Structure 1
Amino acid sequence: MSQSELTSYFQQATMEIQLEYERIRSRTLEDPGTAGDEGEENWAKLLRNWLPGDMQITTKGRILCADGSATNQVDVVALSPIYPNGMVGKKMHLASEVMAIFECKTTLRGEHIERTMESASRTKEMIYRSHGKEVLYGLVAHSHSWGEDRLAAVDKITRKITSAG
């Protein structure tokens, strides 16, 4: 596979996310909850298409630790291939089989970065304390609130991450 072919695959995925963002955004003011749910499903679909096929990807739920504690609600969860199919649709996900967690935003703002970093820290600590395992925790967004200048947006996001960390 050539580099340009691989690039075209990523561009296609990016275009699909962009088109979904434009569709969702047109109704956000009417019903922000549904818009957020649709955004989460967009990211779950992308992960289903790009992560190994035997991983389970689900939306909305909490992570249940062995000690009985549970995290706050998270948006998208990637579960290990051995996760029981009968439990995938449940909204309490077994921490022992969580591979990654993603918070999803339709339009990223500075306060989202700060809140996600706080939530990630708490959640990762709970899982590590209960199971001795690290999980990936990410923040994904369809767009951002920092205008058209990509470099300026990257700089602002980087500064927010640095100051929140």
Structure 2
Amino acid sequence: MAKDYSDAQLTHKEDIQRSGHEGESTWADLLSKWLPPAYGVGLRKYIIGSDDKVKPFETDIVVFEPAYPQHLRYRAKVHAGGVAAAFSVKLTARKSHFKEIAGWSKSLAELSHVDKTTVEGQLLSGIPTGFLAHSHDLGQEPVTAMAEGFDTVADTASHPRDLVDLVCVANAGTLTCNRASYLPMSSTLPGGVDFTMSSYLRMYDAQQYGAVAHFIVSLYRVLGRNDPSLQKLAVELSRVTGTGEGQGTMRKWDPKVVYDEGFLKDRYHLLFDDGRPRHY
């Protein structure tokens, strides 16, 4: 990854667009090697939804759903229902990118279709999103800058589904967006109120594992929501790498903002049977 970044930086002086494409190709190659073959990876695709009013826009990398037909994967436009995850890529991450990426993620959430009869459909976007970069211009504490930047844009978001799911700067660190479905008053401090929660977790990094390893395991966890085989692998690798154990700043959401009114009539179906919140 570091060598590819150096090569792209040299190209950047001569051809900015080409250097950006080289950076995208590096991440696409990584994803192709680490994801099961049935998924597949595409570069610079236009994601289209069922609503003609929403204009399709270019996305740097898409991961295809395993069921998405092979002959459709080569087209410039891909259907939102066939996208398992989408990524925006920069060679060098800068603070100015955070708001831009947040807007892109929200647009994809609006484009995607979700099953509103489930907790996941009420809380999450139909297309998980991620921001990837080789390096950064974020100062001496890049992970702190990443967390603070995405916490800031989360504070201005209108719904948890709009938030970017994964952030990885290869030579710095990885963030994952954790969402808790519902925390009733009885599980919080006396005098508190019910709330839904989101937080960007900064991955703890054991000495032998780096940001990219944590990103891959985190991606398995995200895709594992709909793929039991990846879910099993994510659990095993999380135990090895410590991925999923991190610190973050909590944002509280009013459940009335997050869930449809009818969905809140029996709030305890938002929890597991033992009363624990569902984490995504």
TM-score range normalised by the length of the shorter chain: 0.7 to 0.9
| Residue 148 (structure 2) pairs with residue 159 (structure 1) | yes
User: Which residue of structure 1 aligns with residue 30 of structure 2?
Assistant: 46
Alignment of 1:102-117 (within 5 A): 102-117=87-102
CA distance, structure 1, for counterparts of residue 56 and residue 98 of structure 2: 18
Which blocks of at least 5 consecutive residues in structure 2 are unaligned? Answer: 155-280
User: Which residue of structure 1 aligns with residue 86 of structure 2?
Assistant: 101
User: Which residue of structure 2 aligns with residue 122 of structure 1?
Assistant: 107
2:108 is matched by which residue type in structure 1? T
| Residue 50 (structure 2) pairs with residue 66 (structure 1) | yes
Name the SS of the counterpart of 2:78 in structure 1.
Answer: strand
Structure of greater relative contact order (alpha carbons < 8 Å, 6+ residues apart): 1
Number of aligned residues: 146
Name the SS of the counterpart of 2:12 in structure 1.
Answer: coil
User: Which residue of structure 1 aligns with residue 7 of structure 2?
Assistant: 23
Q: How far did residue 60 of structure 1 move?
A: 0.2
Residues 67 and 130, structure 1, Cα contact 8 Å, conserved in 2 = no
User: Which residue of structure 2 aligns with residue 142 of structure 1?
Assistant: 134
Q: Please, what TM-score do these two structures have when normalized by structure 1?
A: 0.82
CA distance, structure 2, for counterparts of residue 124 and residue 29 of structure 1: 35
CA distance, structure 1, for counterparts of residue 96 and residue 37 of structure 2: 34
Q: How far did residue 39 of structure 1 move?
A: 0.7
CA distance, structure 1, for counterparts of residue 67 and residue 113 of structure 2: 19
Q: How far did residue 130 of structure 1 move?
A: 9.9
Alignment of 1:71-90 (within 5 A): 71-90=56-75
What fraction of aligned residue pairs are identical, expressed as a percent?
A: 26
Name the SS of the counterpart of 1:81 in structure 2.
Answer: coil
1:62 is matched by which residue type in structure 2? Y
Deviations 1:84-130 (A, max 9, x none): 11111111011111100000000001111110111101111221379
User: Which residue of structure 2 aligns with residue 57 of structure 1?
Assistant: 41
Greater CA radius of gyration, 1 or 2? 2
Residues 41 and 64, structure 2, Cα contact 8 Å, conserved in 1 = yes
Which blocks of at least 5 consecutive residues in structure 1 are unaligned? Answer: 1-16
CA distance, structure 2, for counterparts of residue 54 and residue 116 of structure 1: 27
CA distance, structure 2, for counterparts of residue 162 and residue 67 of structure 1: 30
User: Which residue of structure 2 aligns with residue 6 of structure 1?
Assistant: none
CA distance, structure 2, for counterparts of residue 130 and residue 75 of structure 1: 26
Residues 38 and 66, structure 2, Cα contact 8 Å, conserved in 1 = yes
Q: Please, what TM-score do these two structures have when normalized by structure 2?
A: 0.49
CA distance, structure 2, for counterparts of residue 92 and residue 128 of structure 1: 17
User: Which residue of structure 1 aligns with residue 185 of structure 2?
Assistant: none
